[in-house]
Structure 1
């Protein structure tokens, strides 16, 4: 959709509020994403305000009700559905998935289980709370984990984003530190059998005409691990769009991303993180209901690779939300 098309379909008087910041560990990323989306929307002629989340937010929304809110909040407080519940209470339209879908998608083990039931490959995993290690003895539990899942392992918090608290474990001796790292960001850790291959991000967007997968982005971090630094430091990761995949595998990663988007009940925009192994099989890692829109984020890269304008895509999602209305 071009900028001219958006101008013809989106009311020029529409007041859009971009919410960014918050108190999660991903505050800085959220602010960067919010600024970029706000600038992109302004480029289409929309009236856009930017706001942090604080105790005055509800009063502000009641006093000056926007036509649409674009939540660009990352981390638990922005992606667990809570802020969207509040917007529903106020009957304010917003871009993105409804609260129930956010709760399911943000919980990595639950999302994996839902997607696996739809026939998608997911790596074998175990999900354990911090209390289990304390009550049963950390050494004994970790030994059982390594015996069951083998090595290497991916250790991550069950409810976090931007790879915070995530560690690839190659030896049993590395596991205790990885568990401490994961528990620093949540009380429950997910341990997965590590799948070796090419990591790809596949965004799904819906401008009101139905969800479609954008070109896959291949992720090749300099250090070999796509951690927080690799994600948000310019030049630390090489992104290739479209990803160097065969036509058949490219179609499969698109199918898996669309399937995850649909079975999880997501809306407007999502990003699935996948692994393509050496045999061309596609493995689902996780999905993001509020993907980043920073200068190094994969969604804007995919939008550009599809020949689309970032502002036009964002404005089309705003229009879809306005048309849908609040509490929908």
Structure 2
């Protein structure tokens, strides 16, 4: 199969995208596919012309463009199949404030939030009190994420986010542990418990630095809690109208409660990333997982 591997792009997560693409290209080539590496940053204006000559596009982009559905919409214009969700589901999931509205409408547990599109008035304070977590509304990879215990600290985090042209989403600090759960097809995978070692929350350093966090898969949780994580991950996937695969992130409270943080439509795809670790529990190699994603994408097009 002739596969167009789309990576890079120009979001703040470009380097992570390129890192994952190297492993994807190697694995697919070893499986006998002809893989064309396509850096969206350098070739965006040639995307449609290039896609026409390929059987399938494998998208390994993080942030926008990519997770916002733009690339998917373009590929659909020329009938090029791809893995994962379509434009609408991708766009809803990337926008955290929009996704949280969908979660609430579907009865899924998610923390209260405020969307800040500009620096608020000096007297403004979050309605749920301090401390809070502040993050880019459309960013990922735990970039531009911070905790604030005062208005001064909030303004410092906001300055970095708003300077990029993005909005900020503010949520109360939830005491607990990070749990994540992937969905493949219509099946929830084994949850992973994440224990940061380089800080007290799962930021960029914890996620990508050597020894930054312990990722326990399957998560050492009781059967009922694991089942509830899986149920909510699959429910969030369906509520957003997603396809192929996704990964939902949660906070497991000290009281056993679960709060849905966000859903990723193009989760990290290196052999050591979270979804590949979950797939390995099912006996799937990294290459097997890639082939399964391709199969699901082709099925979507009836091919």
1:100 maps to which residue?
A: 88
In the alignment, structure 1 residue 323 sits paired with structure 2 residue 299: yes
Whole-Å separation in 2 of the counterparts to 1:108 and 1:195: 17
Q: Report the structure number with the largest CA radius of gyration.
A: 1
* Greater relative contact order (Cα < 8 A, sep 6+): 1
1:17 maps to which residue?
A: 4
- Long gaps (5+) in structure 2: none
Whole-Å separation in 1 of the counterparts to 2:193 and 2:86: 29
Whole-Å separation in 2 of the counterparts to 1:283 and 1:121: 5
In the alignment, structure 1 residue 67 sits paired with structure 2 residue 55: yes
- Long gaps (5+) in structure 1: 1-13
Which secondary structure does the structure 1 equivalent of 2:65 belong to?
helix
> What CA deviation, in whole Å up to 9, does each residue of 1:27-63 have, x standing for no partner?
000011222222232343333222111222223223x
Whole-Å separation in 1 of the counterparts to 2:81 and 2:113: 37
In the alignment, structure 1 residue 217 sits paired with structure 2 residue 207: no
Aligned partner of 1:203 among 182, 186, 196: 182
* Regions of 4+ moved over 6 Å: none
- Write the mapping of 1:127-276 to structure 2, written as runs, cut at 5 A: 127-130=115-118, 133=120, 137=121, 139-141=122-124, 144-145=125-126, 148-206=127-185, 211-222=186-197, 223-276=199-252
How many corresponding residue pairs?
A: 299
In the alignment, structure 1 residue 50 sits paired with structure 2 residue 37: yes
- TM-score normalized with structure 2 length: 0.93
Which secondary structure does the structure 2 equivalent of 1:250 belong to?
helix
- Write the mapping of 1:31-46 to structure 2, written as runs, cut at 5 A: 31-46=18-33
Higher helix share: 1
Change (3 A) 1:284 1:185: farther
Whole-Å separation in 2 of the counterparts to 1:322 and 1:172: 50
Which secondary structure does the structure 2 equivalent of 1:51 belong to?
strand
Aligned alpha-carbon RMSD (Å): 1.7
- TM-score normalized with structure 1 length: 0.87
The answer to whether the Cα contact below 8 Å between 1:15 and 1:68 also exists between their aligned partners in 2 is yes
